[in-house]
Amino acid sequence: MEHPMSQYANYNEITATPEKHLNFLRELNAHVNEGLGSRNSLFEKAAKSIVVDGKPYSQAAHMNKLESHADGWDFDDVPDATKVEIYQLSEAIKAADSTFDLQHYTTGYEYMVDDMKDRGVDISTPVIKSTGGLDLSKAGTPGLDTSADGLDDLFKREHVVKVSHEPIIGR
């Protein structure tokens, strides 16, 4: 399945706010869900399907803008559901392609994660559907309880196998 072409006027459109960052993480996650082949395939897919300021997507330009904008974000004002999805997508994207180390360019990322853990928000239970969207079917309590295995299991595995449009963890 070919990902549709996305166009952005500049990198501010994907990094200016936590919500814009989350929307872009969903787009990157859609590429992951389509399946990756080689080590740099997420970057290659993004460069072919995302245009920013009239040029192919640049991971370096994206990370620089992300670091700059995230420094001004106030995670205390961001809803937990948004932060949980940012956490889970960032971790899943890095697990799929370690060159996309979004966590280290998201200023305040560790604070955001530690704060949620300290408040008892369950950040390890997957709430992300294969489409990259947040499953709000059980919303109403912090940590959005689901019966799925935790993301922790994902990091113990060697690779992700795609079957019937649903990612399946495999060894």
| Identity of the residue numbered 53 | D
Residue with tokens 């294969």: 130
| Chain-centre distance for alpha carbon 49 | 17
Please give the single-letter amino acid code of residue 75.
F
- How much is the pLDDT for 84? 95
Cross-strand bridge partners of residue 20:
none
**pLDDT averaged per 10 residues in sequence order, the chain, 171 residues:** 77 94 92 70 86 93 92 92 94 86 90 94 69 39 38 40 41 36
Cβ–Cβ contacts within 10 Å for residue 46, how many? Answer: 23
Q: Are 39 and 28 contacting, i.e. CB atoms less than 8 angstroms apart?
A: no
**CA nearest to 114, candidates 75, 169, 65:** 75
Cα gap 2→80, rounded to integer Å: 32
Q: Greatest CA separation found in the chain? A: 44
What are the residues facing 134 on neighbouring strands?
128
Predicted TM-score (pTM) of this structure? 0.70
pLDDT at 39: 62
Q: Residue 161 forms beta bridges with which residues? A: 168
DSSP 114-133: HHHHHTT---SS--B-TTS-
